Structure 1
């Protein structure tokens, strides 16, 4: 094999020591990006010192396509990056391109943003039916409609109102060969929400009272937005009363005050309560209930030792009717006397504030033990 290396531009062979001459003269190569300095403006060209034997020339055709902002970057004395388009044209000039160098740098930036998933703020330079065009340096990124924030209204998306505005996005796809750059406003918005959520959670303390808005209802509870952070009021924390479903007492859009029960910063979860905003009925039970009082109640649950009944009043507390208090007669099983959802008249026979228990009786609704108290109450009502 010959020691000489074939010249890729033609059939001639280059001298084996030619690369030393190229290094000495710092000769450029096509496709290379170099740093240079603007040394002169001519009528239809700009000369760039690229540290080689000859200056690089930015052609007039490229200059005609530049905006004023880009031209300002090419003032004499400024350092710029240029892309080697041709090492020698028909006039012996080295043709360079500022736009292509900037584009290469912008693709590098886009790839870096894709890898880091940092948020990029860019200017909307156009809109079409499919989405938004956003400038990333010399590149035009595309934000499909599916990646535009849901918070934006229909008019903004469809009537060109976003053009010239600045929006925050994330790079979600880069394909240099196809010239494809896809951005997402939703992805950036999600990160912003997470950062805001972490910030707010860090400032909260258990026991805080916050204003919020109901944003969703589920079988197990209600989701409340408190200053941009979503918290859950579990079904058991909606009210001191028994609640079958959140929709029974709330609707989406309701403004509420909630009590902070628990903050889990690691899992970014916020547990809230509505019922803690009201007095615990067991702490003031003596003001509302007393032994001997007659009330209407609804049977809620039956067990082998008795039946649970919910009082039909403001607090709807539950009490136990022991099997021995269901009837004057012997009872084999509570279901022989009462059924779930049945409404009955009961008498309170025990109030245990500390144990949070109410003892109820059907058997003693009519009882000599309480005759005097019943007559006194009846007289008071009549008066």
Structure 2
């Protein structure tokens, strides 16, 4: 691999990693765009707080508004290596790769036509985002709501309202 110039120890460490490797470390810094991790077996980074990095999508299956809602500075984490970012010279990590996918668990225990009681999380221009529990959310298009048309107004639904949904 053709690496940019920089710390030879850092490049050697990144080249030694393989997709799927399980790494551990401590959360070094939390930014609005992701989380830096100081890896136990890694080297330091010359300019960043840690050589490992979680982008927002790799943090959790749960919904959150701020990465600090998913992890805390100093927290010990185990994560999966998903690839090297050669531009920033960091190890791309996924915390959620080591957690069960709640949508897959939902699909495994659900049949088409099954009814649920959902809670309106948010009314969107195209439909209602319903919380079905266990970190599973579904979009109910307005055209699929009984008595509704494709033009049903979002104002007819309030966050927290319970609605019946069918898979």
Question: Can you list the C-alpha shifts for 1:265-323, whole angstroms capped at 9, x where unaligned?
Answer: 464122111110012233333344444332332333512x3222333x22x22211121
TM-score by length of 1: 0.36
After superposition, where does 1:174-253 map in structure 2 within 5 Å? 194-226=7-39, 227-229=42-44, 230-253=51-74
Picking from 288, 293, 296, the partner of 2:115 is 293
After superposition, where does 1:121-140 map in structure 2 within 5 Å? none
Structure of higher RCO (CA pairs closer than 8 Å, 6+ residues apart):
2
Segments of structure 2 that go 5 or more residues without pairing to the other structure are 1-5, 45-50
Aligned partner of residue 64 in structure 2, secondary structure: coil
> Rg larger in 1 or in 2?
1
Give the whole-Å Cα distance in 1 for the aligned partners of 2:106 and 2:149. Answer: 32
Distance 1:248 1:202, change over 3 A: same
The root-mean-square deviation of aligned C-alpha atoms, in Å, is 2.4
Give the whole-Å Cα distance in 2 for the aligned partners of 1:244 and 1:207. Answer: 27
Checking the alignment, whether the CA contact within 8 Å between 2:79 and 2:98 is kept in structure 1 is yes
**Deviation of 1:250 (Å):** 1.0
Give the whole-Å Cα distance in 1 for the aligned partners of 2:30 and 2:77. Answer: 14
**Deviation of 1:223 (Å):** 0.8
The corresponding residue for 1:319 is: 138
2:156 paired with 1:337: yes
**Higher share in helix:** 1
**Deviation of 1:249 (Å):** 2.0
Question: Can you list the C-alpha shifts for 1:53-73, whole angstroms capped at 9, x where unaligned?
Answer: xxxxxxxxxxxxxxxxxxxxx
After superposition, where does 1:233-382 map in structure 2 within 5 Å? 233-265=54-86, 267-290=88-111, 291-303=113-125, 305-311=126-132, 313-314=133-134, 316-328=135-147, 332-339=151-158, 342-350=159-167
Give the whole-Å Cα distance in 2 for the aligned partners of 1:256 and 1:239. Answer: 12
Question: Can you list the C-alpha shifts for 1:4-32, whole angstroms capped at 9, x where unaligned?
Answer: xxxxxxxxxxxxxxxxxxxxxxxxxxxxx
Aligned partner of residue 201 in structure 1, secondary structure: helix
Segments of structure 1 that go 5 or more residues without pairing to the other structure are 1-190, 351-383
